[in-house]
Amino acid sequence: MRMHLLFILFTYTLITGCSTIGSNYQNQAAAKIVGQRDSSNIERHNIGSLNTSFQNNVASSKFSGDIVELTGKVVAFSLTENGLYTVTIQNDESKVVCIFNNSISGKLGDDRAIRSGATVTIQGQCAASGLFSSTSFSLNGCRLVSN
């Protein structure tokens, strides 16, 4: 019976921890929090230092849940099956996936604000990434500050 319970717990953790994108609900809640925050009071960080914090303390990074501002070069962007937009930015050798709602749909692509190689500044709420993610954390509820 104990092994059965451990198997169920492991499976649940694996399933819920594997998603790097999260849910629409999670992103909407984060977008509300980010949207209510005064932009001038949001701390600017380096992607590398946040990556290190989440790699060293996956479950309890001191930045988990914090609203931060990051600047980096756009290396990828996509639309998920859940209708969320992801933008991956890189600073030095560190990357982070930034998750947006559909408010940025008109800003993606060639000759637009978010395009491959463009340098952008994004604000969002830090969260640990899933088990099989290529990054140790992601930003939820993002808003584009500048490009």
Q: State how far Cα 122 lies from the chain centre.
A: 10
- Please give the average per-residue pLDDT across 52-58, as a whole number: 82
Q: Is the pLDDT of residue 2 over 80?
A: no
Query: What are the structural domains, with CATH classification, of the chain?
Result: 2-146 (2.40.50.140)
The per-residue pLDDT of the chain, averaged, comes to: 83
Q: What confidence score (pLDDT) does residue 147 get?
A: 67
Beta bridge partners of 95: 90
- 126: phi then psi, degrees, rounded to nearest 5: -70, 140
Give Dmax (Cα) for the chain. Answer: 59
Mind listing the pLDDT tens digit for each residue in 10-24?
A: 433 433 344 445 578
Contacts of 9 (CB under 8 A, 6+ apart): none
* pTM exceeds cut of 0.85: no
Q: Which residue reads 């808003």 in tokens?
A: 143
Question: In whole angstroms, how far apart are CA 122 and each of 9, 24, 46, 71, 114?
Answer: 35, 19, 12, 6, 11
pLDDT at 132: 72
How far is it, in rounded angstroms, from Cα 42 to Cα 59? 23
Retrieve residue 105's tokens. Answer: 């749909």
Rounded distance between C-alpha atoms, residue 70 and residue 126, angstroms:
11
